[in-house]
Structures are given as structure tokens and as C-alpha cells.
């Protein structure tokens, strides 16, 4: 693999634009192509980044994944298309970085992971918070015994979203709702910090369009630790995360998923603040990680493995079962599935 990683972006929405902007700040990375369902959309996107990269505009997703100049595809389409688009790229022989949620349910996620493994291609869920400096510093402090034996993680993520029933976040057919958009962040970090989930209990306030407006869930992790998380499309929350142990507490400041600093409070009440600046808009770090993995010939990244992605999807499926949130991808019988044995850490 050449030193410079050549990226193709599949999709032209807001998250695609944010990732393209991040590539400007990513060492040894180049955006070479963008694909859309219409040439006009792809061309407008390509023109926006032409000065930096000289981007090819592809009139279809198929055209993008067929380009020999593309080393890896970033899937940035709406939730309901993630699995389909990831399978398309993998089928064309392209490594994939797939935006979260990785898929609509475990069944879809397993199909994508299975194909990547059969084809021997790199695949990673774009859970960018896993690669942020703040989380790395929290891990370091915990491993050093700064707060003693860890017992609890608490996190919230909420904002006042539009009530427009036609907006994506409120449309069940587009994978709307608080859980997949927001709840996935505290869920993923809790699993990263506390390990595999043995059980989960959830409750939600459902909206008139059939999506969850607010969801809370408590997870029991292997070893007896507990995490408590809340997400909402109706409440503007503090968006903070704390991890507590017998000797103190570490807090990832608002917004916790892109914290520029963390604070450590000891049992005696003393507090110190540690700066955790990040590059660009934050997405730079996952782009760097994916690039490094490609150069090393890895099929998955150790900070966001396939098993962790599948484990997270199992938990999401179980939460949806408990709150009664169903999507078309779940099938005509409406069954999502049960948690079962969750592996991965």
C-alpha cells in the first residue's frame, strides 16, 4: 500500500462533507473521488474540494467503487443504506470505512463483516470517538489506577431536534430516532471503557412518527460494572460522560464525544484539568487510523474490531426490542432479535 491513501466518498450529505474536510488535515491522505446517485450532486461536492484534491465526480455508487484510483471507500449515506453500500464496495474489492450506525440490525452487520472476511478486505465502523485523544487519555488514567477500581460510567447525549415529521431524524423508514443517531455514542464508549455487555434494560418515549424521541438504558458489563446512558431528540442535555471508581471520577467535558479537555476529581475533592486537543474537526483521527491499518495490511483495527461492532449491534437490537422500535430492515415479522451472548472488548 502506497504511503498516500486515496479516498473515495460514497454519498454527498453533511457527514460526507465533514469527512472530506477532515481529509484536508489528514497526513498522507487524498480525496480522489465522490459518488452520488446523480452527477449534479457529485459534481457540486467535487467542485467544493477541487482546489485541494482535484476530485472526480462519479454519477453512481457503482462508478465510484469501480475506480482503480480509489484505495478505500467511506460510506456516508443514510443509515438504511449503510449495509447495502458497504456490500457494494466490498464486492468491488474496496476496503471500507462505514459510518455509524454500521447497519440497521445485527443481521445486516453480520453480512457485511462476513463478506469483508471472505474477501480479505479491511473493514471498520466509523466510530470516530474511539480514536479521539480524550478517550485515549481516559484509558491511560484508568489503566494507571488514577480512580481505583472502576464501577460506573454515566453519559448523556441530547439536543432539541426539529419536529418536522419529514426530516430524516423523525422518519422511521430512514432509520430515524434518538438511539441510532445519538445513543450509539455513549453506548460505544461505555463498551470501550467497561467491556462486553451481559444485559441491558431500556425505556423510551416514542414519537408520533414511530421513532424514539428519548431513550434511556442501563447496561451491566462483564465483571459487574454498570453504565447508565440517555439520549434525546427533545432535551438539550449537558452531553457529558463520567467514569467513576473508588478513588475518584474522570469527566469528559461537553461535548464528550469531541472533548477538548477532561477533568479528574479525587476522593478529597481536588480537581485537575487535562487538555486533550484534537486535529481538525475530529474525524482526522479515524481517517489516520484507517490509513495506518491499510498500510499495515490489517483487516480490522484493534480499537474498533469487527467483534466490537457486532457486539454493539446486538445491544442496539436488544434495546430496540425492549422499547418497541422497529425498522423495515427487521423484516415483515417485526422481530429484531435478542441480546444473547455479547462478545468483544
Span 262-297, pLDDT tens digits: 999 999 999 999 999 999 999 999 999 999 999 999
* Contact indicator for 72, 79 with CB cutoff of 8 Å: no
How far apart (Å, rounded) are the C-alpha atoms in residues 109 and 46? 30
Active site members: 100
- Mean pLDDT across 227-242: 97
Q: Beta partners for 343? A: none
Read off the pLDDT of residues 157-182 as tens digits, 9 standing for 90 and up. 999 999 999 999 999 999 999 999 99
Annotation: CATH topology of 5-129+284-304: Rossmann fold (3.40.50)
- Mean pLDDT across 337-344: 41
Read off the pLDDT of residues 13-41 as tens digits, 9 standing for 90 and up. 999 999 999 999 999 999 999 999 999 99
In the chain, where does the domain assigned CATH 3.30.360.10 lie? 150-245+311-330
In the chain, where does the domain assigned CATH 3.40.50.720 lie? 5-129+284-304
Query: Is the pLDDT score of 345 beyond 70?
Result: no
**Cα 53-55-56 angle, rounded to 5 deg:** 160
Residue 325 pLDDT: 97
List the one residue out of 275, 242, 232, 240 whose CA is nearest residue 256. Answer: 240
Position 81 confidence tier, pLDDT thresholds 50, 70, 90: very high
Q: What is the DSSP letter of 160?
A: -
Position 332 confidence tier, pLDDT thresholds 50, 70, 90: low
Residue 336 pLDDT: 58
List the one residue out of 220, 230, 264, 271 whose CA is nearest residue 245. Answer: 264
What integer best gives the mean pLDDT of the chain? 94
- Mean pLDDT across 176-203: 97
Position 251 confidence tier, pLDDT thresholds 50, 70, 90: very high
Residue 254 pLDDT: 85
* Contact indicator for 125, 100 with CB cutoff of 8 Å: yes
What pairing do the DSSP bridges indicate for beta strands 212-221 and 226-232?
A: antiparallel
Instruction: Please give the class, per CATH, of domain 150-245+311-330.
Output: alpha beta
**Cα 48-52-53 angle, rounded to 5 deg:** 90
- Mean pLDDT across 125-148: 97
| pTM exceeding 0.75 | yes
Amino acid at each position: 500500500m502506497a504511503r498516500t491513501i486515496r479516498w473515495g466518498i460514497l454519498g454527498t450529505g453533511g457527514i460526507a462533507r465533514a469527512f472530506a474536510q477532515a481529509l484536508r488535515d489528514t497526513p498522507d491522505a487524498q480525496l480522489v473521488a465522490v459518488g452520488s446517485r446523480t452527477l449534479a450532486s457529485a459534481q457540486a461536492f467535487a467542485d467544493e474540494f477541487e482546489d485541494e484534491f482535484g476530485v472526480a465526480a462519479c454519477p453512481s455508487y457503482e462508478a465510484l467503487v469501480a475506480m482503480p484510483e480509489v484505495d478505500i471507500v467511506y460510506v456516508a449515506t443514510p443509515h438504511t443504506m449503510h449495509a447495502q453500500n458497504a456490500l457494494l464496495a466490498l464486492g468491488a474489492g474496496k476496503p471500507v470505512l462505514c459510518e455509524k450506525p454500521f447497519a440497521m440490525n445485527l443481521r445486516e452487520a453480520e453480512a457485511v463483516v462476513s463478506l469483508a472476511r471472505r474477501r480479505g478486505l479491511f473493514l471498520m465502523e466509523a466510530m470516530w470517538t474511539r480514536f479521539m485523544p480524550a478517550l485515549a487519555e481516559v484509558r491511560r488514567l484508568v489503566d494507571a489506577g488514577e480512580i481505583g477500581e472502576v464501577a460506573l460510567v454515566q453519559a448523556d447525549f441530547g439536543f432539541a431536534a426539529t419536529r418536522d415529521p419529514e426530516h430524516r431524524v423523525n422518519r422511521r423508514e430512514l432509520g430515524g430516532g434518538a438511539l441510532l443517531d445519538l445513543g450509539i455514542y455513549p453506548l460505544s464508549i461505555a463498551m470501550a471503557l467497561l467491556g462486553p455487555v451481559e444485559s441491558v434494560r431500556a425505556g423510551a418515549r416514542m414519537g408520533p412518527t414511530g421513532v424514539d424521541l428519548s431513550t434511556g438504558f442501563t447496561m451491566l458489563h462483564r465483571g459487574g460494572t454498570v453504565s447508565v446512558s440517555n439520549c434525546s431528540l427533545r432535551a438539550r442535555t449537558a452531553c457529558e460522560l463520567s467514569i467513576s471508581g473508588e478513588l475518584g471520577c474522570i469527566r469528559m467535558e461537553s461535548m464528550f464525544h469531541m472533548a477538548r479537555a477532561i477533568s479528574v476529581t479525587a476522593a478529597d475533592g481536588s480537581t485537575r484539568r487535562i487538555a486533550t486537543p484534537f486535529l481538525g474537526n475530529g474525524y482526522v483521527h479515524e481517517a489516520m487510523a484507517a490509513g495506518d491499518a491499510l498500510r499495515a495490511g490489517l483487516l480490522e483495527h484493534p480499537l474498533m474490531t469487527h467483534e466490537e461492532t457486532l457486539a454493539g449491534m446486538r445491544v442496539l437490537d436488544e434495546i430496540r426490542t425492549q422499547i418497541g422500535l422497529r425498522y423495515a430492515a427487521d423484516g415483515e415479522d417485526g422481530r429484531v432479535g435478542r441480546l444473547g451472548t455479547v462478545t468483544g472488548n
